[in-house]
Amino acid sequence: MTIDVYTSAGTKKGTATLPKTLFEANINEGLMHQAVIRQQSNVRNTVAHTKARGEVQGSTRKLFQQKGTGRARRGSVRSPVLRGGNKAFGPKSIANFVLEMPQKMRRAALVSSLSLQANNGIILGLENYPDAIKTKDAQKMLEKMPVELGRKILIVTTKNTDSINLSVRNIKNVRTVMAQYLNPLDVLGSRHIIFMVDALKKVEEIHGKTESGKMKVESEEKAEKSTTKAATTKKASTSSKSSK
């Protein structure tokens, strides 16, 4: 799969090939949904808070004796069943909404998101960007490129570069992200994704390793260790025989 590559002036320069391991993988909608819910939950702020019994103002004196009055057993005026008491089972500011997800699942969700957006044809390439920090130049570049200004546009870079970060900062709904911080929420929530050409290689470096490739590397390392161990054992036995 190829994408169009544009220059910093907004003119089309050529094409670039997308890595198959990242942009032509199986699309798992359930996994992508789980990854997005996890990200949204992990950035959630606990705002709502109801006072506990110990936080409500009021006397702690028992209102009347436990037995003999014929009335309900009553504690202090801070009781949640009385007016002015605390709220039973209400939301607390110490609530923990953090969700966990294994690394393999997170990677699979990202690859699935990239593949989906590649199929939608919303991924473009950017050859380079000058060192000058000018919002006007960035605006003109985006106006010439086949993107809808006003919709969410994500620019993927290799490193934290001030020239492009500061140039697009004041353009509505345009933001940048480094290749190592690419995530399903940003990918799926963007109307257009612009990859710097060198960022494609960086993304493939970080996220493009297949499981079969990892297993192959691990098996080669194990074989190398076992060979080294066998050679060491043989050398030790030979030296012991010679000493006898």
Q: How many angstroms separate the CA atoms of 118 and 194, rounded?
A: 11
**Do 203 and 176 lie in a common domain?**
yes
Q: Is residue 69 assigned to a domain?
A: yes
**Do 18 and 70 lie in a common domain?**
no
Residue range of the domain that includes 23: 2-44+102-207
Query: What pLDDT, on a 0 to 100 scale, did the predictor assign at position 82?
Result: 92
The residue count of the chain comes to 244
Beta-carbon contacts of residue 109 (< 8 Å; ≥ 6 apart): 28, 31, 32, 34, 35, 101, 184
**Do 28 and 83 lie in a common domain?**
no
State pTM to two decimals.
0.75
**Do 53 and 40 lie in a common domain?**
no
Label residue 230 exposed, middle or buried (CB < 10 Å: 0-12, 13-18, 19+): exposed
Tell me what percent of the residues of the chain surpass a pLDDT of 90.
71
**Do 83 and 128 lie in a common domain?**
no
Beta-carbon contacts of residue 55 (< 8 Å; ≥ 6 apart): 86
Q: What is the tally of structural domains in the chain? A: 2
**Do 106 and 162 lie in a common domain?**
yes
Ramachandran class of 84: left when φ > 0, alpha when ψ lies in -120 to 50, beta otherwise: left
Q: Is residue 218 assigned to a domain?
A: no
135 band by pLDDT with thresholds 50, 70 and 90? very high
Q: Across the strands, what pairs with 5? A: 14, 125
37 band by pLDDT with thresholds 50, 70 and 90? very high
Residue with tokens 């870079």: 157
Q: Is residue 66 assigned to a domain?
A: yes
**Do 169 and 65 lie in a common domain?**
no
Query: What pLDDT, on a 0 to 100 scale, did the predictor assign at position 213?
Result: 43
Domain CATH code at residue 172: 3.40.1370.10
Q: Is residue 34 assigned to a domain?
A: yes
**Do 147 and 39 lie in a common domain?**
yes
CA atoms within 13 A on the CB side of 4: 12
pLDDT tens, position by position, 136-149? 999 999 999 999 99
Please give the average per-residue pLDDT across 101-118, as a whole number.
94
Q: Is residue 229 assigned to a domain?
A: no
Taking the CA atoms of residue 38, residue 39, residue 43 and residue 44 in that order, the dihedral angle to the nearest 10 degrees is: -40
**Do 13 and 70 lie in a common domain?**
no
Q: Is residue 91 assigned to a domain?
A: yes
pLDDT tens, position by position, 39-69? 999 999 888 999 999 999 999 999 999 999 9
